[in-house]
Amino acid sequence: MSRGLFILFEGCDRSGKTTQSTRLVQALKDMGIKAKLVKFPDRTTAIGKMIDGYLTQKSQLSDQAIHLLFSANRWEAMNQMRADLESGITLVVDRYAFSGVAFSAAKRLDFKWCKSPDVGLIAPDRVFFMDIHPDDAAKRDGYGEEIYEKREFQLDVRAKFFSMMDKSWAIIDAMKDVDLIHRQILLLTKKALQAQEAEPVPIAKLWT
């Protein structure tokens, strides 16, 4: 049995990642493919609760401390994610280490320093970047409730994401119709699954 794929959604806030990742998992399951949704930050763990307190502005933490907590929140999920991939489950992940670097580097923390705690995490096989201009994102429901939802900052975050892209990334126009985006993403995911079937690639690690 072949391993599952690690499909990642990244993007600025309110770009539709949660909607699209949820729909993708459902579509894969409907096709009889084992799939699971994973969301970062995972606010349910002890570390995740500290992150939630920071994001909702109930507590304060230094830029470095929150950066390391976000990374730890990914590391604490690694064993389960590896086990799932090895057992043939395709993981659809909503945010990951690229968010970690983009958000902290946008605060002017050193780019290399930002990457270092996430070195060695499982690498995604395919990344969908939900691209939205922060001016358009700001018009969406609930915008501005959390600490990072400010225009200038999101512009910086978007630029940082662009600086990290490689050929495993696809830029998705997040302003398009929700169903259209879903079909585009499903098609790209099917292609990735077929490619993995034809020529299996082992699980890789980040930034090595």
Residue 58 CB, shortest distance to ligand DGP, in Å, is 14
**Half-sphere exposure for 157 (CA within 13 Å, toward CB):** 25
Please select the residue that binds ligand DGP; options are 6, 9, 70, 128, rule is CB under 6 A. Answer: 70
Name the DSSP class of 100: H
Binding string, 132-171, against ligand DGP, x = CB under 6 A? --------------x-x-----------------------
Residue 38, beta-bridge partner list = 93
Q: How far is Cα of residue 67 from the mean position of the Cα atoms in its chain?
A: 15
- Indicate the SS3 state at residue 128: strand
Closest residue by Cα to residue 19 from 181, 143, 136, 193? 181
The token pair that represents 198 in the structure block: 């034809």
Residue 18 contacts Na ion per CB under 5 A:
yes
Among 7-15, 79-87, 161-169, 171-179, the segment contacting Na ion (CB under 5 A): 7-15
3-class DSSP state of 120: coil
What part of residues 27-46 is at the interface with ligand DGP (CB under 6 A)?
40-41
The residue whose two tokens read 């929140």 is 73
41 interface partner picked from ligand DGP, Na ion, none, CB below 5 to 8 A per type = ligand DGP
* Number of residues engaging ligand DGP in binding (CB under 6 A): 14
Q: Name the binder of 6 from Na ion, ligand DGP, none, CB < 5-8 A by kind.
A: none
DSSP calls for 11-28: ESTTSSHHHHHHHHHHHH
Give which of ligand DGP, Na ion, none residue 124 binds (C-beta under 5 to 8 Å, depending on kind). Answer: none
Q: Which stretch binds ligand DGP (CB under 6 A): 23-31, 66-74, 85-93, 186-194?
A: 66-74
CA proximity to 16, closest of 166, 164, 187, 142 = 142
Distance of CA 30 to the CA centre of its chain: 23
Nearer to ligand DGP, 190 or 207 (CB): 207
Is residue 13 part of the contact set for Na ion (CB under 5 A)?
yes
State the residues that interact with Na ion by CB under 5 A.
Answer: 13, 18
State the residues that interact with ligand DGP by CB under 6 A.
Answer: 13, 40-41, 55, 66-67, 70, 95, 99-100, 103-104, 146, 148
